[in-house]
Amino acid sequence: MKELLHAVRISGLGYRYHDGTEALRGLDLVVHAGEKVCLAGPNGAGKSTLLLHMTGIIKGEGDVLVGGDVPKGAPSVFGLVFQDPEDQLFCPTVGDDVAFGPRNMKLPEIEVDRRVASALLAVGLEGFQSRSAHHLSGGEKKRAAIAAVLACEPEILALDEPWANLDVRSSRAVTDILRGHKGTFIVASQDLHRAAEVCERLVIIDGGAIVADGPMKELLADEELLEAHGLEFRKKCAKCEATKGDKKACA
């Protein structure tokens, strides 16, 4: 595995969709190898658009380098779990969807089988191999999409809203996958409680630009900043475990 000093280096990135919507405005971001980063911000801030640039699927003005090179969509370098799993699952069966990346990487079939089994196990979808992705529940689709990316074992793992739509058990499974991921990862999420469990750095995006970037713990303590950008993080009460501000909380 080649060493990635700067997993991601983006400068002056601007992007306008075909209908004229300006999604990113001169955004700069460096993610170092091994960093665990959360991108947060209100709906429409530009988080998904930013992640799509890292895959090379869309290209705006400015410079984007991923793993030291322009993004070429190599699944072993950068793997993105899309916000909408429908964008990721297109094969007749879940097994084929999860095997798609490793097969594309021309891995031997025995290694493809190993990766598919291991990725499905990681997301709790063992036994789903011959099911049609179209007939899965929303949460199961999300887990299948995560498995499809895990099977490529990317050096940089990116997940767009990984906890959205998942039940508690599946959310914990995703958290555990991220905890166990040795390399760099970037998650776009509104769920700061889940993100705080696995990310050390928080980057807040609003209006297509970065408005705050720093250690997760420090930024979470800044209620005004979070409020200003449509985010919320309420600490759990040490005594009763309820979220402070809830009626249940003892203080």
Ligand X SMILES: Nc1ncnc2c1ncn2[C@@H]1O[C@H](COP(=O)(O)OP(=O)(O)OP(=O)(O)O)[C@@H](O)[C@H]1O
- Where on the chain is the footprint of Mg ion (CB under 5 A)? 47-48, 83
Smallest separation (angstroms) from ligand X to the CB of 213: 16
**24 beta partners:** 15
23, 54, 150, 152: residue in contact with ligand X (rule CB under 6 A): 23
Q: How far is CA 173 from CA 49, 123, 181, 194, in A?
A: 26, 6, 12, 11
Q: Establish if 21 lies at the interface with ligand X (CB under 6 A).
A: yes
Toward ligand X, which CB reaches closer, 24 or 94?
24
* Contact partners, residue 145, CB within 8 Å, separation at least 6: 81, 82, 85, 88, 89
Tokens of 106: 């021309």
- Which one among 1, 43, 169, 182 touches ligand X, defined by CB under 6 A? 43
Give min distance, CB of 151 to ligand X, in A.
24
Instruction: Give the chain's count of helices (H) and strands (E).
Output: 8, 9
46 binds ligand X (CB under 6 A): yes
Window 67-106: contact mask with ligand X (x via CB under 6 A) = ----------------x-----------------------
Q: With contact defined as beta carbons under 8 Å apart, do 3 and 152 qualify?
A: no
3-state SS assignment for residue 87: helix
Among the residue ranges 15-23, 85-93, 121-129, 149-157, the one whose residues contact ligand X (CB under 6 A): 15-23
Choose among ligand X, Mg ion, none what residue 90 binds, the Cβ cut-off being 5 to 8 Å by kind.
none
Residue 158 is a binding residue for ligand X (CB under 6 A): no
183 binds, among Mg ion, ligand X, none (CB under 5 to 8 A by kind): none
Helix ranges (DSSP H) in the chain: 47-55, 94-104, 109-122, 138-150, 168-180, 192-198, 216-220, 223-228
Structural Rg of the chain based on CA atoms: 18
Which one of 14, 44, 124, 230 is in contact with ligand X (CB under 6 A)?
44
Q: Which residue, 105 or 164, is less far from Mg ion as judged by CB? A: 164
Q: Provide the pairing of β-strand 61-66 with 209-215.
A: unpaired
CB-closest chain residue to Mg ion: 48
Q: Does 17 bind ligand X (CB under 6 A)?
A: yes
Q: Which of 122, 144, 125 is CA-nearest to residue 134?
A: 144
Q: Judged by CB, which is closer to ligand X: 42, or 68?
A: 42
Under the rule (CB under 6 A), what is the footprint of ligand X?
17, 19, 21, 23, 41, 43-49, 83
